[in-house]
Chains A and B, each alone.
Chain A
Amino acid sequence: MKKSLEKLLNKPLPVDPFKPQRAVITDIEELAPDHKKFTFSFLDEGVAKSWDYIPGQFVMLTVPKAGEIPISICSSPTRKGFFELTVRKVGRKTKVLHQLKPGDVVAVRGPYGNGFPVGIMENHNVLIIAGGLGMAPLRSLVWYILDRRNRFKEIYLLYGTRSYEFVLYKEELRRLKEREDIKCLFCLDRVETPEDREWADIEGLLTELIPQVKLEPSETYVAVCGPPVAYKFIGKELLKNGYPESQIFVSLERKMECGIGKCGHCQIGYKFACVDGPIFPLWDTKNLPEML
């Protein structure tokens, strides 16, 4: 009667992964209607010092009295001492979060998820494609790369959203566009106002920008984040332009309660978005039904 699982029980009790750390809101910036960027610092100095993450990872944020929500980190781990989350007011918990003020305390646990494969992206071109709020996790990747610019080859950023009003990180992206070491192409769904015209390179969808990218596809890693409906079209266009499906990484969103593979809600096919993702290679669409 041999038992293969004995060793699972013969372990000391681990640190509770469900227990969050307190963090204070140090700054709130209104980016667009219903979109705010929150800056946090951990109250515990030891945690603040040791806390590290990878672009594309997320945290479980406790909004006091409302509950926990998974939110992608939008700051870069290359900038220490704080972290930032961009949150759209879209549901019950984010509505409560949007009422908080600088100085208010929240609780955070994480970082969770796999993050973008920044290690294997090194010495390659990187094409970053952001749609709408998908700019948030990709902002982390953009600054990670720019802060270690010599490790990467050519960098492109494609960003599309509804109209200029909904553009996130406006000033920051404007300055990025002036830089020589990253090529930025912006599109808007509707170009109506003078600001729209000044901002947009084209009126249309992200898929129309992809053919304008001058990169050798086999030497390029692609990072995509956007609304669920966009992935199919962007994926198809990327494949059409010769980007290998194993080098295209998409960041997916699902319902989550725990972030550590225990609650089951975030299953995509046989994988958990929280521990096996949220970053998946496009190749996985073959394995994981209903991924896109």
Chain B
Amino acid sequence: MLDFHIERAKVLPKSNLWSFLEGLKKISPLIAPVKRGNKTVFSEVNDISDITINYTRTILPPKKFLVPYRRVRFTYSTDDLSFSSNFKARDQIIFGIHSCDLHGISILDSVYLKENPDPRYLEVRKKTVLIGISCMPDDYCFCLSTGTAFPDGANWDLFLTDIGADYFVSIGSPKGDELIIELKELFRDIEREDLELYKRSTRKKKEAFKNKKLPDLERISQLIELEYESPVWDEEAKRCLSCGTCTNVCPTCFCYTSIDVPDFEGKTVKRVEFTTSCQYPYYSLVAGGHYFKPTRTARFRHRYYHKFVGYPYQIEKLGCVGCGRCSAECPAKISMVETLIRLRGTDEKEPGKAAEQTSAGRSL
């Protein structure tokens, strides 16, 4: 029988959360945040009691389940140069993604699918269900500035907002709707007061940013272009170790290097792609020994330039979602927020401006 409902959202009582997760795991392999030491990582779960609901940020963003950090693109034989691949996407559900990471995935969607679409990414993406969950910021978060504090405008399937005793479940796609229908006995309909609580939770998250240092991203593209020769780049880059941690933990970084690895007999060759970093010197090295980004300052600045000037040109969105990973994980304690504030200079900051989320999600 056709099962159909027209609710725009549902309510999941918190007491049903574990049954919900158990239900998800029965449908597809389930990926969720789990504790690793005193940090959290996204990992496939066998036992749902391993899942941690309240976390601030994972070490790596969930992109590793969409674009593995090391992947074999093709295998070819050196006899006849026939290229083949045994790649096969599997169904998967990623649960517990914060709003910033959902926006990060949407940015990757644009990068991989807008022009010259990558069939492999599309296949993975079609088979992946994204379930988001609301969160509260810590000192590294600045998603309110980047316009990614809430999941509006991103690509996802379900989003759970904590409204006290329940989760307010927004439905973002037919795939998300199907999950609700499949597990419908766990949900109840929304009522007037649920909506009120939902609106209050939005206010609560905004208020949590009140005493935090936020960068003013108004016309950030132009700022970075005009301040291209600023001494701030040199000063900040002096502390940089060129270790590439910032780009490796970034939810929107996509640069990779590709190498051909022959086997011992030289009969078959694997074309391996692996994540690289614009912070490594070899990133811009061409045959003949010329480095197009020879200095640490040039590479350090390139990351900011690409995030705030490059992405807006390439995909019409900022390339930063304010997750705070690059600042939190940097061994030299370089903070993106601090650099942006220094670059703008304190005197021209308009009070109150920074803490406003624009509807477009970006301000140039």
Binding site for B on A (CB under 8 A): 1-6, 8-9, 11, 13-20, 22, 62, 64-69, 90-94, 105-107, 228, 253-255, 257-258, 260-265, 267, 269-272, 275, 289-290
Which of A5, A64, A91 contacts B287 (CB under 8 A)? A91
Known pairs A62-B81, A64-B78, A67-B259. 11 more at Cβ < 8 A?
A8-B109, A9-B125, A11-B117, A13-B122, A14-B122, A16-B119, A20-B83, A91-B287, A264-B276, A265-B284, A290-B293
The answer, yes or no, to whether B283 is at the interface (CB within 8 Å) is yes
Name the contact of A254 in the complex, choosing from B76, B170, B254, B292 (C-beta under 8 A). Answer: B292
For A91, list chain B residues within 8 Å (CB): 287-288
> Which stretch in B25-33, B40-48, B307-315, B323-331 binds the other chain?
B307-315
CB atoms of B122 and A271 under 8 A apart: no
Least Cβ–Cβ distance between A72 and chain B, in angstroms: 13
A93 B287 Cβ-Cβ under 8 A: yes
Residue B255 at the chain A interface, CB threshold 8 Å: yes
A18, B74: Cβ atoms under 8 Å?
yes
Query: In the complex the two chains form, is B305's CB within 8 Å of A257's CB?
Result: no
For the complex, what is the distance from the CA of A16 to the CA of B120, rounded to whole Å?
8
Q: How far is the CA of A11 from the CA of B170 in the complex (A)?
A: 24
Contacting pair B154 A8 (CB below 8 A): no
**Residues in B neighbouring A93, C-beta threshold 8 A:** 287
CA distance A91 to B285 in the complex (A): 11
The 8 Å CB contact of A267, one of B80, B117, B302, is: B302
State the Cβ distance, B94 to closest chain A Cβ, in Å.
15
1/0 per residue B242-278: CB within 8 Å of A?
0000000000001111111010001001010100101
* Inter-subunit contact B292/A290 (CB<8 Å): yes
Q: A1-B151, A2-B153, A270-B314 are in contact. Are A262 and B287 (CB under 8 A)?
A: no
- B286 and A263 form a contact (CB under 8 A): no
B115 near A261 with CB under 8 A, answer yes
Return chain B residues, CB-CB under 8 Å to A6: 155, 173
Contact mask for chain B residues 70-90; partner A; CB cutoff 8 A; 1 contact, 0 none: 000110101011110000000
In the bound complex, CA of A264 to CA of B311 (Å): 11
Minimum CB distance partner of B315 in chain A: A5
Residues on B with beta carbons closer than 8 Å to the beta carbon of A22: 80-82
| Cβ 8 A contact of B314, one of A90, A263, A272 | A272
Which residues of A have CB within 8 Å of B151?
Answer: 1
A202 to B181, CA, bound (A): 81
26 A–B contacts from the bound complex (CB under 8 Å): A3-B172, A5-B109, A5-B153, A9-B155, A13-B123, A14-B122, A15-B119, A17-B117, A62-B76, A64-B269, A66-B260, A91-B288, A92-B287, A106-B81, A254-B286, A255-B283, A258-B256, A260-B115, A262-B254, A262-B256, A265-B255, A265-B284, A267-B310, A269-B309, A270-B310, A289-B305
In whole Å, how far is B22's beta carbon from the nearest beta carbon of chain A?
Answer: 26
Interchain CA distance A266-B276 in the complex, whole Å: 13
Which residues of A are found within 8 Å of B83, using beta-carbon distances?
19-20, 107
Q: Which residue of A lies closest to B312 (CB)?
A: A270
Residues in chain A near residue B154, CB distance under 8 A: 3, 5
**Residues on B with beta carbons closer than 8 Å to the beta carbon of A107:** 76, 81, 83
Q: How far is the CB of B246 from chain A (nearest CB, A)?
A: 14
- Our pick among A3, A5, A9, A289 for the contact of B228 (Cβ within 8 Å) is A289
| A67 / chain B contacts, CB cutoff of 8 Å | 258-260, 271
Report yes or no: A255 in contact with B292, Cβ–Cβ below 8 A: yes
Give the residue name and chain of the A residue nearest to B84 (CB).
A19
B122 near A267: Cβ-Cβ < 8 Å: no
Q: How far is the CB of A82 from chain B (nearest CB, A)?
A: 18
B152:A2 contact, CB within 8 angstroms: yes
Asked whether any CB of chain A lies closer than 8 Å to the CB of B111, the reply is yes
7 nearest CB pairs, A to B: A91-B287, A264-B255, A260-B116, A67-B260, A270-B313, A8-B113, A270-B310
Flag if A65 contacts B269 (CB, 8 Å). yes
The answer, among B74, B112, B293, for a CB contact under 8 Å with A19, is B74
With A261-B116, A262-B118 as contacts: A228 and B78 at CB distance below 8 Å: no
- CB A220 to nearest CB in B, in angstroms, measures 30
What is the minimal beta-carbon distance from B255 to any residue of chain A, in angstroms?
A: 3
User: A69 vs B259: C-alpha distance in the bound complex, in angstroms?
Assistant: 11
Residue interface bits B11-36, CB-to-A below 8 A is 1, else 0: 00000000000000000000000000
A258/B313 in contact, CB under 8 A: no
A271: chain B residues within 8 A (beta carbon): 313
Q: Are B278 and A264 in contact (CB under 8 A)?
A: yes
Cα A189 to Cα B351 with chains together (Å): 60
Known A-B contacts A11-B117, A14-B119, A65-B262; the reply to A257 vs B81 at CB < 8 A is no
Q: How far is the CA of A93 from the CA of B288 in the complex (A)?
A: 12
How far does the Cβ of A251 sit from chain B's closest Cβ, in whole Å?
Answer: 14
8 Å CB contact of B254 from A1, A14, A264, A269: A264
Measured CB to CB, the nearest residue on chain A to B155 is A5
Q: How far is the CB of A30 from chain B (nearest CB, A)?
A: 19
Smallest beta-carbon distance B305→chain A, Å: 7
Say whether B290 faces chain A, with CB atoms less than 8 Å apart: yes
Residues of A within 8 A of B153 (CB): 2-5
Closest A residue to B114 using CB positions = A8
Chain B nearest CB from A174 CB (Å) reads 28
Q: Mark B171-208, 1 if CB is under 8 A from A, else 0.
A: 01100000000000000000000000000000000000
A20 to B83, CA, bound (A): 8
